[in-house]
């Protein structure tokens, strides 16, 4: 037996079968659809995600692939998610209830709703709010694991940044954004020449289907091994400098609707569609100047005590009984403590999402109540806002971020493939699936 979990599952099945003699008409509440290392993917998880995708497709008037093809893609996503979450457990990655509540409140605000009305809208759509809440927690953990793992794999040299700055000045296409669709016909692990030839034949068949008018998104959901398969292969809007170099060479100067490929990469054969083209939407960027006090919970200092401690500071500050900088110097756990918590001028999108959202709600000189980020508990004071001309601000930080985003996508695909190759995965087949 390769996996002890499988033995446990089989033992449970025998107990269940024996109990059939005692209890008539047993009803199956759930079942294991796949074993992933020492965890499982449940049939209910597959059904729930398929229902969500189907509902979203109806809203967007999008055609879905066959039930079998959609199930395969959903199963792949859930298996990969399980592997990432297991890695998160080994890394000790956690999202507290307070941090989760903060995220849900921000999601509600983004939809111009109160948290209560946001909750009601989820329930009215037929979804369990508690299940939705835990799914958001899982997504947050997955994102943190992905960022932490990939940041160690990405190196960008000062010369890389300088080269990109020069390239951006020379390119007239720097102010154009492209929306790309991507289908990856994936190689198996350690592919031989026969595997490569078979993948190329499949990729060429996809090209034939697209040229005959087949829907790109539907084929991506059916056939793509890429990470955005369930989104119809949609890679979103990117400038030439933000997309992988291979893709940028394909689409630069081409017309909307063009399809390219198959192009061989290290992961398989890529097929790319230039879905749309537009001028760059963001021409200005807002920077903020803020200060904060960070309290990191520990075995000695609980989450509740850290929050209460910061609320005490807020009360004193609002009453004029304390100075923010002095409190930061004395109590903050952050590296800015020696500067009185001063973060200087910065693009707020570079901060932890919880911190970004907190600053967005503040007026100048206002102090935000205690909130939780991935670093710990904070209070923050906004001391200034300014708008800069982003079209002329081709500075090193922006060039670095573009290079990072480009490499993040490439390394992300390699990373998840490596994790999958190292994992024990067994899909439990049944007669009706």
As a whole number, mean pLDDT of residues 147-151 equals 88
Q: What is the mean pLDDT of residues 80-104?
A: 89
pTM: 0.55
Quick check: is 294 in a domain? Answer: yes
Which of 32-36, 328-332, 339-343, 394-398 has the lowest average pLDDT? Answer: 394-398
**Segment 236-241 mean pLDDT:** 83
pLDDT value for 198: 93
Tell me the mean pLDDT in the region 263-278: 91
Lowest mean pLDDT among 210-214, 215-219, 237-241: 237-241
Residue 113 CB neighbour total at 10 angstroms: 14
Q: Which residues pair with 106 in a beta bridge?
A: none
Contacts for 405 with CB less than 8 Å, ≥ 6 apart: 242
* The pLDDT of residue 323: 95
The answer to whether residue 251 sits within a structural domain is no
Mean local confidence (pLDDT), 246-274 = 88
**Structural domain containing residue 380:** 284-389
**Mean of the pLDDT values across residues 289-307?**
93
Q: Who wins on pLDDT, 272 or 430?
A: 272
d(CA 154, CA 409): 11
In terms of Cα–Cα distance, which of 322, 300, 318, 303 is closest to 378? Answer: 303
How many structural domains is the chain composed of? Answer: 1
311 domain-assigned: yes
CA 217 to chain centre: 20
C-alpha–C-alpha distance, residues 182 and 57, integer Å: 18
Residue 214 lies in a domain: no
From CA 150, how far away is CA 217, in angstroms rounded? 28
CATH code for the domain in which residue 373 is found: 3.10.50.40
Task: Please provide residue 402's backbone torsions phi and psi, each rounded to the nearest 5 degrees.
Answer: -60, -45
- Residue 369 corresponds to which tokens in the numbers above? 């109540």
| CA distances in angstroms from 86 to 15, 29, 225, 399, 413, listed in the order given | 28, 25, 22, 34, 18
pLDDT tens for residues 372-397?
Answer: 988 899 999 999 998 765 554 446 77
Q: Is residue 319 part of a domain?
A: yes
| 405: in domain | no
Residue 333 lies in a domain: yes
The answer on pLDDT for 11 being more than 70 is: no
Confidence class for position 253, pLDDT limits 50, 70, 90: confident
pLDDT category, 8, cuts 50, 70, 90? very low
Q: How many CB atoms lie within 10 A of CB 234?
A: 18
CB 179 within 8 A of CB 279: no
Cα distances (Å, whole numbers) of residue 91 to 40, 145, 253, 295, 297: 19, 8, 44, 21, 17
CA 202 to the chain's CA centroid: 29
Residue 300 lies in a domain: yes
What is the Cα–Cα distance from 140 to 149, expressed in whole angstroms? 14
- pLDDT exceeding 70 applies to what percent of the chain? 87
In terms of pLDDT, which residue wins out, 402 or 229? 229
Any idea what the Cα angle at residue 63 is, between residues 214 and 179, rounded to 5°? 70
Q: Which of 37-41, 174-178, 207-211 has the lowest mean pLDDT?
A: 174-178
Among the ranges given (37-41, 363-367, 396-400), the one the predictor scored with the smallest mean pLDDT: 396-400
| Pair type for strands 259-264 and 342-346 | unpaired
């Amino acid at each position: 037996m390769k996996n002890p979990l499988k033995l446990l599952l089989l033992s449970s099945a025998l107990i269940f079968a024996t109990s059939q003699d005692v209890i008539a008409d047993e009803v199956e509440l759930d079942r294991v659809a796949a074993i992933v290392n020492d965890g499982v993917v449940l049939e209910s998880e597959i059904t729930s995600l398929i229902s969500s995708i189907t509902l979203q497709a109806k809203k967007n008037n999008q055609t879905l692939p066959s039930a079998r093809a959609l199930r395969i893609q959903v199963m792949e996503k859930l298996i990969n998610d399980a592997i990432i979450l297991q890695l998160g457990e080994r890394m000790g990655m956690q999202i507290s209830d307070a941090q989760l509540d903060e995220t849900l409140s921000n999601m509600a605000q983004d939809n111009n709703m109160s948290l209560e009305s946001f909750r009601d809208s989820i329930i009215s759509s037929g979804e369990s709010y508690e299940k939705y809440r835990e799914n958001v927690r899982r997504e947050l953990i997955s994102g943190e694991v992905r960022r932490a793992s990939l940041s160690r794999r990405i190196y960008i040299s000062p010369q890389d940044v300088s080269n990109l700055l020069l390239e951006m000045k020379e390119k007239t296409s720097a102010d154009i954004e492209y929306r790309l669709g991507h289908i990856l016909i994936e190689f198996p692990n350690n592919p031989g020449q026969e595997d490569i030839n078979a993948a190329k034949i499949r990729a060429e068949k996809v090209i034939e289907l697209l040229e005959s008018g087949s829907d790109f998104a539907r084929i991506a959901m059916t056939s793509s091994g890429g990470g955005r398969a369930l989104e119809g292969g949609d890679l979103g809007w990117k400038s030439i400098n933000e997309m992988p170099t291979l893709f940028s060479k394909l689409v630069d100067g081409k017309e909307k609707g063009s399809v390219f490929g198959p192009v061989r990469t290290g992961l398989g054969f890529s097929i790319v569609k230039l879905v749309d083209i537009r001028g760059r939407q963001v021409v200005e960027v807002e920077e903020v100047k803020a200060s904060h006090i960070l309290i990191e919970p520990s075995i000695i200092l609980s989450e509740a005590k850290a929050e209460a401690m910061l609320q005490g500071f807020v009360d004193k500050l609002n009453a004029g009984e304390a100075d923010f900088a002095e409190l930061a110097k004395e109590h903050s756990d952050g590296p800015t403590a020696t500067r009185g918590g001063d973060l200087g001028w910065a693009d707020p999108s570079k901060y932890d999402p919880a911190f970004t959202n907190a600053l967005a709600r503040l007026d100048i000189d206002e102090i935000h109540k205690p909130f939780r980020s991935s670093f710990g508990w904070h209070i923050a004071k906004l001391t200034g806002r300014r708008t800069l001309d982003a079209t002329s601000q081709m500075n090193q930080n922006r060039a670095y971020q573009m290079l990072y985003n480009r490499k993040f996508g490439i390394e992300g695909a390699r990373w998840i493939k490596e994790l999958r190759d190292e994992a024990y995965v067994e899909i439990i087949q049944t007669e009706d699936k």
